[in-house]
Amino acid sequence: AQKVTQAQTEISVVEKEDVTLDCVYETRDTTYYLFWYKQPPSGELVFLIRRNSFDEQNEISGRYSWNFQKSTSSFNFTITASQVVDSAVYFCALSPANTGNQFYFGTGTSLTVIP
């Protein structure tokens, strides 16, 4: 079975605080891809990052960083020095290689950054 769990439904932080969004996935496939998307109030899902299952290197992009750990099936997302513009719903997604690019999304974490 393919499944993505985002246990945090809603998070509120004060501006400039760091925040980590958790993502745990389940799959029996050995080759798969993990993604994070941001959904602002306008509704469009904005691509943030893609990782494949063979690359466990952590990645940093500006204030964003991602921690991929296969041992715990987790792909967590940290925003450093949060800003009001970071307020959105964030989705983690799994795409196993043998499913024709089908994506399995978590239920999302709604992040509110308070000025």
Partner 1 sequence: GAGVSQSPRYKVAKRGQDVALRCDPISGHVSLFWYQQALGQGPEFLTYFQNEAQLDKSGLPSDRFFAERPEGSVSTLKIQRTQQEDSAVYLCASSLTASGNTIYFGEGSWLTVV
Does 42 engage in binding with partner 1 (CB under 8 A)?
Answer: yes
The nearest distance, CB 107 to partner 1, in angstroms, is: 5
Separation of alpha carbons 21 and 11, rounded Å: 9
Residue 57 or 98: which CB sits closer to partner 1?
98
Closest CA to 69 of 22, 19, 7: 22
Does 69 engage in binding with partner 1 (CB under 8 A)?
Answer: no
Helix (H) or strand (E) holding 47: strand 46-52
The nearest distance, CB 16 to partner 1, in angstroms, is: 28
Count of CB atoms within 10 A of residue 13's CB?
16
Using CB under 8 A as the criterion, which residues of the chain lie in contact with partner 1 when the complex forms? 4, 31-33, 35, 37, 42-47, 50, 52, 91, 93, 95, 97-98, 100-108
